[in-house]
Amino acid sequence: MTDLQTVSVTVNGQPYERDVEPRLLLSDFLRHELRLTGTHVGCEHGSCGSCTILLDGDAVRSCLLFAVQVHGHEITTIEGLAPEWTSASGLEALHPIQLAFRETHGLQCGFCTPGFILTLVPFLEENPNPSEEEIRQAISGNLCRCTGYQGIVDAVRLAAQEMGNLQIAEETRTD
């Protein structure tokens, strides 16, 4: 039997420690060891983007990493995204990107949705007012088997607008 290695990692703000086989993929670690099944696995070789998570704030494909590689790092999965945000009304504990996907019918079966959303979080942080071409470029590495791309592009536009409004509201409050 392969020697186990200890992985200590913070996921969605919570510390975890597990002894795992060095060959265990990060996507399987999240889904099977931590039971965070919002990270979806489609192709398992880096092509579809459905397993995308945030590693120290960067969008990465968890099927292309081993769990042991994230020892000492911070991860955010789709389950950890919502609590950081509330909508302008304060009634919905969803990230503005999640709300925008719901509003614009940016999802059908939802299989690809966590990967799209986590790809878009750092993109919109870096580029808060993207053009349609930039949006299409940003999501070009994610596949939607339901081919709902127009709704997804509309969702990104709406999310950018809503996140801009929230930022203005925040700045006004702290003035």
Considering the complex, state which of residue 146 and residue 169 has its C-beta at the smaller distance from ligand FES: 146
User: Minimum distance from CB of 98 to ligand FES (Å)?
Assistant: 14
Considering the complex, state which of residue 43 and residue 88 has its C-beta at the smaller distance from ligand FES: 43
Tell me the H-state helices in the chain: 26-28, 96-103, 113-126, 132-138, 149-174
DSSP-derived secondary structure for 102-135: HHTT--SS-SSHHHHHHHHHHHHHH-SS--HHHH
Site string for ligand FES, 55-74 (x = CB under 6 A): ------x-x-----------
Among 42, 80, 114, 130, binds ligand FES (CB under 6 A): 42
Give the closest residue to 63 by CA, choosing from 153, 55, 94: 55
| 31 touching ligand FES, by CB under 6 A | no
Segment (H or E) for 74: strand 74-76
| 105 touching ligand FES, by CB under 6 A | no
User: Minimum distance from CB of 35 to ligand FES (Å)?
Assistant: 18
Q: Which stretch binds ligand FES (CB under 6 A): 9-17, 84-92, 107-115, 159-167?
A: 107-115
Task: Please list every residue from 112 through 171 that binds ligand FES, using CB under 6 A.
Answer: 112, 144-146, 148
| 107 touching ligand FES, by CB under 6 A | yes
| 50 touching ligand FES, by CB under 6 A | yes
Considering the complex, state which of residue 1 and residue 144 has its C-beta at the smaller distance from ligand FES: 144
Pairing of strands 14-20, 58-61: unpaired
Pairing of strands 52-55, 74-76: antiparallel
The span from the CA of 77 to the CA of 4, in Å, is: 24
What phi and psi, each to the nearest 5 degrees, are found at residue 23?
-85, 0
Residues in touch with ligand FES (CB under 6 A)? 41-44, 46-51, 61, 63, 107-112, 144-146, 148
